[in-house]
Structure 1
Amino acid sequence: MSDTSLTPDIQSRLSELADVTLDERLTFADLTTLHLGGRPSMVVRCATAGAVAEVVTLLDAHAIPLLVVAGGSNLVVADGDLDLVVVLLADDSLTVDVSTGRVVAGAGAVWDDVVAASVAAGLGGIECLSGIPGSAGATPVQNVGAYGAEIADVLVRVQLLDRATGEVAWVPAADLELAYRYSNLKFTSRGVVLAIELQLNVDGLSAPLRFGELARRLGGAERWPVAAVREAVLELRHGKGMVVVESDHDTWSAGSFFTNPVVPVDVADSVQEAVRASRGDADADRMPRFDAPGGQKLSAAWLIERAGFAKGHPGEGAPVRLSTKHTLALTNRGAATTADLVALAREVRDGVRSAFGVDLVPEPVWVGVSID
């Protein structure tokens, strides 16, 4: 431990706080969906938003490094001992107002539980986000999205602890600069999300379906009963190994590992021509490319496959493999290390760069380790 580690005095003060428990046994392998990562100096479990604010403020006042964790679905953490304290969000409170469509969830609430409760109440707007692992508090940080929907579509405000001032306040969603897989909270330590508030529609119908695969599954790009959309989304995600099942190593992942790259139109053209030269007109003409701010958005999974990385790469016996169901997920086969994961991530990133001149950017947060 370095001299920033917890002192007995700080540990004693933490243990005396209401709604706080300490655990020295847990590792990041216990706390993440990748089941990878070493041991923090302490895990401080906070059952309420107030407890989170007190713990973070106390640790910050003594310059003790910390990492806020809830579902652990978007973390790549180094092996070995780590000189930081985990602040574990355990406030899973949830209020669903059927008459107004307002939903308020504690940051530690399991995200899919929030979706399930909203759909059961006949509220629409987040059904396309079914099955996404992790916590409610993480959804605005990277503007979680799937099948054409984003949390930005329904987010009203977040309850935020400002770490610079120690103040807790409700902050409008407009202040978060939400964009594709981005908010101004991401990759910063300026604030901790304590709760979220959503505005959903009350007519029992989904948002208009904008994603081709889902629209085709349901039979058209229109609004559908929310329960039907949730069922279809869960079927699609299960088919891709994107719903966490503890007994299935094909789901021991951080979800989509790379974001879909947005490139200039001429770069998209060159990628398509490279595919045409190597794989023929039919495959090139099917290349997914969509207009986006700054150019066109390409499919990271599609690029990975065309760069020569098949599902299950590098094959049986490897400690980390691409999912056998979806090339965008890197999976721990049960006995991997973070070093194994990083090696495969670099291989895939470098292979796509070599084949197409496109840089894939990892989606997870990296702690104590880097892909570079």
Structure 2
Amino acid sequence: MKIIEGGVCAAKGFKAGAMRCGIRKSHTKKDLAMILSDCVCNASAVYTTNRVKASPILLTKEHLADGKAQAVIVNSGNANACAPFGMENARRQAKAGARALGVSEENVIVASTGVIGQTLPVEAIEAHAGEMEMKYDNSLVAAEAIMTTDTKVKTIAVEFDVDGTTCHIGGICKGSGMIHPNMGTMLCFITTDCAVSSEMIRKALLFNVKRTFNRVTVDGDTSTNDMCTVLANGMAGNAEITAEDPAYEAFREALQTVMQDLARKIAADGEGASKLMTCTVKGAKDEETAEVLAKSIAGSSLTKAAMFGSDANWGRVLCAMGYSGAEFNTEKVLVEFASKEGSIAVCEDGRGLDFDEDLAKKILSQDEVEINVTLQEGSGSATCWGCDLTYDYVKINGDYRT
């Protein structure tokens, strides 16, 4: 497997496009994107666990009931969630995309991101979608168009082998705030030319989302619009993957590489964040326990604030572990902080160590820091990703609508 360029256009037979159609107040930012396969794809998706779900989520669930899709239409600037005429406007958006791309309306995935509760100006989409230029090397503009408070484009693609056939898989996503495990305000679109059944796509997607997007936290909020979709058009020419065999394992591994990279990029670009925070718990009695502990640490506002201040306050870590609900031996806990500047143990057997505060501050002053926790209860391990909590987070969200 190797990293390649191309994002959602890296796989054979996928085009993308983007434009400004007038949804956002900005007169310069693109606010509509579309992705198109040359043929109908096997497809699957996972969605937010928030009980309040945006209309595009509900419509996409309908359209993917048969495991088929050919195109995506996605807008930024308006979430079409809890909004007047929500389902009607989501259907009109799907029809506009289908008409512009020449595909069946039922094969169009619809997604939206932006402000909740406002009527989607779907007329702008209907008026301009047909003007969009779709090209085979256009992933970057699509990635830019779905950004809201994101400050960085998030994209990746990889090339991998399936039974001697070279396949490609790539994705774009957006996500910066309202991010919490069980998905957050994120949209992710993944395309592949690997031939794989809808059932096997779903199995691989569920396996990987648990270990990637569901282990990212920025601020403890889970949104109404989150969606991760995978479209496979089979144009690489491999024999279709229909069972959990070595070919499936190769596909699942490639999918995990893409999803984990995008998950890390979401965490690193958390609203107002100055550093990516990676939290790993190992030596737990099982993976589930390790995951609960790692999520609690990564999601702790006090831990995140300590990381912002480059303060080696390991007590915040143990406190977050203690209220996580997971069972563990509090007297068998090792905590270490690490970065490219080195590693330092700050707590052992649940008690503080004498350590070099200056070195610890130097380690935690980097833009990527690690919190590594080791227990002595088993082989379970899990890694979660988050970011520090800065003054800018409040500034961004204090006037989000304006």
Check whether TM > 0.5: no
* TM-score, with length taken from structure 2: 0.26
The structure whose residues are more often strand, as a share, is 2
* TM-score, with length taken from structure 1: 0.28
Which structure is higher in RCO with an 8 Å CA cutoff and minimum separation 6? 2
